[in-house]
């Protein structure tokens, strides 16, 4: 048998196997190929159930572990970083951005903004903007006022920086619960389409709870996304607060 004949015989054997493999792959549902949150990049939150998980007060000692968990689930979330902590740990802040998560400003020192004078508010926002840009190469376009403490004056000053304000309409209360099982049950109880959930990556129990939280949300058909993705392409105005009727 010549080389050409052997090649043709090998092709006859290979083609049916390849075709069968392709058919089997095509028959698999999308959920069997990857978790729901893994497809968040191309998801349309107008058509499917989305939920935005947001993490405040980092970077902290548990943030790197959280990033590993999110990477394993191919999930993107929103981090609101404190400028002073970013200056102390720019490497982790940089890793957050490089992994594709949305990054927001959470002020420099985490004060109650409504208790400050105007220039003090500007200083808190500006120093955090500078620290985050130095670490990640990007300036945030969203601000989360610490404690959700904002008013028209804070909103107007945020607008000077081109920042919209992101609050929440579901809180994990992880700083209070301090228990992974309780935090998981709280978050799953909050699960609702288009909800913005407040969490903290500085809480070890929160990070411990995350794998089971993500798995449970995926099983319930939720796509875990960033706030930006949840907005479905809508650009918030500078100073605008989202979601409306927040702080739950």
Active site residues: 56, 200
How far, in Å, CA of 62 to CA of 56, rounded?
12
Nearest alpha-carbon partner for 77 in 175, 172, 181: 172
Nearest alpha-carbon partner for 212 in 73, 39, 62: 73
Cβ neighbourhood burial of 24 (10 Å; 0-12, 13-18, 19+):
exposed
DSSP characters for 12-50?
HHHHHHHHHHHHHHHHS-HHHHS-GGGGGGG--TTTS-E
């Amino acid at each position: 048998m010549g080389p050409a004949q052997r090649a043709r015989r090998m092709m006859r054997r290979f083609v049916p196997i390849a075709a069968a493999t392709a058919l089997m792959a095509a028959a698999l549902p999308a959920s069997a190929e990857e978790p729901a949150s893994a497809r968040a990049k191309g998801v349309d939150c107008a058509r499917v159930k989305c939920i935005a998980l947001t993490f405040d007060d980092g970077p902290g000692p548990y943030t790197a572990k959280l990033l590993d968990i999110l990477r394993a689930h191919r999930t993107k979330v929103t981090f609101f970083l404190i400028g002073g902590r970013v200056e102390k740990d720019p490497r982790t802040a940089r890793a957050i951005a490089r992994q594709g998560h949305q990054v927001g400003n959470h002020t420099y020192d985490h004060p109650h903004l409504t208790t400050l004078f105007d220039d003090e508010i500007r200083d808190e926002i500006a120093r955090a903007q500078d620290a985050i840009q130095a670490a990640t190469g990007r300036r945030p376009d969203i601000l989360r006022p610490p404690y959700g403490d904002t008013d028209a004056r804070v909103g107007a000053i945020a607008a000077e920086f081109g920042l919209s304000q992101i609050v929440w309409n579901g809180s994990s209360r992880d700083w209070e619960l301090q228990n992974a099982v309780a935090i998981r049950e709280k978050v799953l109880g909050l699960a609702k389409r288009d909800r913005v959930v407040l969490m903290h990556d500085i809480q070890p129990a929160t990070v411990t709870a995350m794998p089971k939280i993500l798995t449970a949300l995926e099983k319930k058909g939720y796509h875990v996304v960033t706030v930006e993705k949840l907005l479905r392409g809508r650009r918030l105005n500078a100073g605008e607060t989202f979601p409306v009727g927040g702080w739950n």
